[in-house]
């Protein structure tokens, strides 16, 4: 029987794109998450909390390849260290992980934790691949929707983003997962770089609203490195194709992006 590929976080934004692609490539998939999901053709679910469960080995056992997507607002370093421990005991032969562009450069707690998670993978002694991706279009839309709930919107000056389509990140991760372990591969960012002010203005225009915009300066070292572009893809990065404008138009047409 063919070994399943374990996908942690396979029920999330990215995971929902990844799982059907792995199935289409002919692989059985085991999804790990806290809440689980309905089994489908060739897809099984295990429930486990990567942060709390002391023994994750049964969830990993029998999977030669692990694609680690599960992540949250905090604790990704600990969650990844726990997964790595179980993967080592289960003789995993390829551990693939998705991180965030700037994890190694932006001094914010959640990015430090992503960087520590990368290190846990690289130091695992297992063959590994890590892809750093830019913010997904979905996240940028959530961010803009939340920001524009207020009548007056603070806009950090000099903050730029390179939103990328989650489906394109998923396709790249599936190629990497089915390929040979490759270490740290080139970043994957969207096709264009946008100022946050520009994204906000475009979103307000597209949703037919006005908001008072209040320019603010991001404080401290994190503010400085953001203004310097430490969250942007390095030269040599892979760039996605689907633009933010195309994504937003699609969401607004379907009604899903309406405030």
Ligand X SMILES: NC(=O)c1ccc[n+]([C@@H]2O[C@H](COP(=O)([O-])OP(=O)(O)OC[C@H]3O[C@@H](n4cnc5c(N)ncnc54)[C@H](OP(=O)(O)O)[C@@H]3O)[C@@H](O)[C@H]2O)c1
Decide: is 136 part of the binding site for ligand X (CB under 6 A).
yes
* Residue 98 binding ligand X, by CB under 6 A: yes
Q: Which residue is nearest to ligand X (CB)?
A: 12
Residue number, 213 or 222, with CB nearest to ligand X: 222
Closest separation in Å from C-beta 133 to ligand X? 4
Our separate counts of H helices and E strands in the chain read 9, 13
> For residues 84 and 55, is the Cβ–Cβ distance under 8 A?
no
Minimum distance, C-beta of residue 20 to ligand X, in the bound complex (Å) = 14
Binding flag, residue 105, ligand X (CB under 6 A)? no
Contact map string, positions 18 to 57, toward ligand X, x by CB under 6 A: --------------xxxx-------------xxx------
CB closer to ligand X out of 66 and 215: 66
CA dist., res. 68 & res. 117, Å (int)? 10
69 binds ligand X (CB under 6 A): yes
Structural element, H or E, at residue 245: helix 244-254
- Strands 160-161 and 194-195, bridge-based pairing: antiparallel
**Rounded-to-integer distance, Cα 72 and Cα 82, Å:** 15
Residues that bind ligand X (CB under 6 A): 8-9, 11-15, 32-35, 49-51, 69-72, 79, 98, 100, 133, 135-136, 139
């Amino acid at each position: 029987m063919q070994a399943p590929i374990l996908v942690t976080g396979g029920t999330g934004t990215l995971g929902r794109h990844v799982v059907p692609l792995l199935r289409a490539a002919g692989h059985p998939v085991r999804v790990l998450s806290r809440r689980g999901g309905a089994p489908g053709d060739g897809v099984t679910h295990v429930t486990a909390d990567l942060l709390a469960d002391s023994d994750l080995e049964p969830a990993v056992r029998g999977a030669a390849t692990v694609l680690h997507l599960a992540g949250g607002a905090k604790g990704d370093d600990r969650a990844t260290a726990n997964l790595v421990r179980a993967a080592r005991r289960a003789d995993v032969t390829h551990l693939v992980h998705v991180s965030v562009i700037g994890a190694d450069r932006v001094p914010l707690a959640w990015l430090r934790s992503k960087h520590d998670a990368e290190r846990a993978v690289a130091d695992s002694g297992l063959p590994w691949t890590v892809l750093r991706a830019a913010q997904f279009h979905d996240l940028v839309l959530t961010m803009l929707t939340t920001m524009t709930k207020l009548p007056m919107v603070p806009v950090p000056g000099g903050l730029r983003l390179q939103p990328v389509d989650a489906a394109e990140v998923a396709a790249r991760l599936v190629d990497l997962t089915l390929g040979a372990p490759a270490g740290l591969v080139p970043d994957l960012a969207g096709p264009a770089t946008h100022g946050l002010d520009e994204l906000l203005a475009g979103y307000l225009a597209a949703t037919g609203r006005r908001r008072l915009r209040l320019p603010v300066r991001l404080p401290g070292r994190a503010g400085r490195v953001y203004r310097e572009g430490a969250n942007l893809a390095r030269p040599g990065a892979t760039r996605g194709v689907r633009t933010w404008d195309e994504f937003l138009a699609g969401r607004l047409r379907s009604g899903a992006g309406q405030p």
